[in-house]
Chain A
Amino acid sequence: MTVAIKPSLHQVGINLSLLIISLVSLVAAASFGAADLSFADVLNVLEHKAFGSGESAGIAERIIIELRFPRILLAFTAGAGLSIAGSVLQTVTRNPLADPYLFGISSGASFGAVVVLTLFSSSGLLSGSGLFERYEWLSLPLGAFIGAGLSVLMVLSLCGRTMSSQIERMLLSGVAISFMFGALTSLLLYFSSPQAAASVLFWSLGSFAKASWDTLYLPLAVVIFSTVIILLFKRQIMAMRAGDETAHTLGVNVARLRLQMLLLCSLITAILVANCGGIGFVGLMIPHTVRMLFPGYFPLLTTALFGGLFMIWIDVLARTLLEHQELPIGIITAVIGSVFFLTILRRKS
């Protein structure tokens, strides 16, 4: 009788169901937005695109294929990436409040974005070279990515070799770096034009509005690659939940694994923050929600799928809540996040 780990089969079922719901959501979410398109319109466009049958929908096809699909896929990628990064970081730092912005990544990225927007943009202090105009689509994500990378490098150099053994030191370094970049960002904003400040604010609250097939590939590839690596190390990460010393006795090189996972999660976060801005709460909230929904498992893949699915529908809300206007993603996730934590607190008390 081998009943002992039967739940793993159950978990395969959960993941398959989530995958199917995500695919259906991908199609369903494409019918929401400013242009009035139905679910049937989306299916029609897909049929035409895939088999060449059905009617060509012209403008509807362009909206669905070129605008909405990359946007929905980016939302799914961001949700999945931030959720799995949050889950892994909560485990390897043994800090239930850890989220993907642990190293001050969002502050670093904001700083990078603000530098681009205030110094190099058309209204910026160093404008006139024409370079920004030529590479506008690239300069903001690149600036944000460099800023995020810089914050990670600074935390690593502050902690030095004690990094992976002294978690507290690493967390505090992250807080310090975060404040430092926050101060620099505020300083630059103080001297910048109102337009640049408004752009920075909108960017820092997160949005998938700029998604296109061209900018989707890199975040998608990074999130898929990182998720596969994380899943390959699943046993070792799970062993770390039993504590560093126990993981060591199970043959896990704790310091090396922790460093690898921190770098991988930083890569995911830096790429996502550069492409979608700072989307808070998801990396913290989704791992906790999944653990509550499926207690007793260590559901890394489930967390990623659930996070992706959640983000698809948050983006739908962002597009449809206000007429003729989009809400930044970060505002919706923050509202849901705070209600979520208050509900948990109330239930626990």
Chain B
Amino acid sequence: MIKQSVQETEILKVDNLSWHADEREILSGIHFCLTKGEMLGIIGPNGAGKSSLLRCLYRYIKPSSGTITLFGDEITTLSAKEFAKRVAVVLQDTPHHFDLTTAQLVAIGLTPHKGPFDITTAKDREIITDALAKVGLTHKAGQTYEHLSGGEKQRALIARAIVQRPKLLILDEPTNHLDIRYQIQILELLRSLNISVITSIHDLNLASALCDQLLLLDAGKCISHGTPVEVLTEQRIGDVFGVCCKVEPHPQHANPQISYFYGYSSIREKQGGQDDCGHKA
């Protein structure tokens, strides 16, 4: 994969972010910046705080302390509409009985751009048509969302986000429940959009191949932040995920490629995570 060059323009800055729920510390001391066109992958084990961090970023929960600035504006000072014009979000779950057509679902992305008296114009229809074409779903425009495949559903949700015309796109595990073809397809689609993207992701190899930066979270704390080469080391993956692995450069893009070893998790637990997996390079 060839990474696109990143212009050094700061879009988002997160400074000393913490969030407590019922006295329990979920996130603490998170710092990072995102520049224009960059794709940041948030990785970490289950319960590390990935979704909570994203929820703070799209203002669904209010951080206990710290600041988040978007294009220099503290996000709490923006109106809901203004914020939605800058940031689009694709979540994991949609309701079960969602009987809208794909085109109608995508058209929902117009919501922040429309007042009560505004109608859907020819230009809006063009935006919707373009978004459907971008995600390759033009032929499914009239089909009910419920009848799309897993990958198509995810692409339809991304098309809805494109219609929102955001500067930043946030996704919560967009590759969940998808087979490997769709996982690669979705992440390549995100890269091709040329907008800044923050996504939580479980598959470390995909994250390594397609993200410019990674943020590794564990127990609500930032363990490491940097390029995939800086973040994905054998020791760190072993410490955070409790698995044994070998990290080598990928033959195509030279970013870390992780191979996992099986049958070592119990040994690691017995030895307090200090074991080096016993594998020979």
Contact = CB atoms under 8 A, between A and B. Distances in A.
Do A and B originate from a single complex?
yes
A252 B83 CA distance: 11
B129 A1 contact: yes
B80 A251 contact: yes
B256 to A, nearest CB: 32
Interface stretch (A15-23, A114-122, A210-218, A295-303): A295-303
Contacts of A238: 100, 104, 108, 111
B194 to A, nearest CB: 21
Interface in A234-249: 235-236, 238-239, 241-243, 245-246, 248-249
Contacts of B109: 250
Contacts of B142: 6-7, 296
Interface in B210-246: none
Contacts of A5: 103-104, 107, 120, 125, 128, 141
Contacts of B251: none
A319 to B, nearest CB: 36
Contacts of B128: 2, 4-5
Contacts of B91: 243, 245-246, 249
Nearest to A96: B97
A176 B98 CA distance: 30
Contacts of B104: 5, 7, 238, 296-298
B17 interface: no
Contacts of A225: none
A73 B120 CA distance: 32
Contacts of A297: 100-101, 104
A243 B103 contact: no
Given A242-B95, A245-B60, A7 B85 contact: no
Nearest to B119: A8
A236 B111 CA distance: 7
Interface of B: 58-60, 79-85, 87-89, 91, 93-95, 97-101, 103-112, 114, 116-117, 120, 122, 125-126, 128-129, 132, 138, 141-142, 144, 164
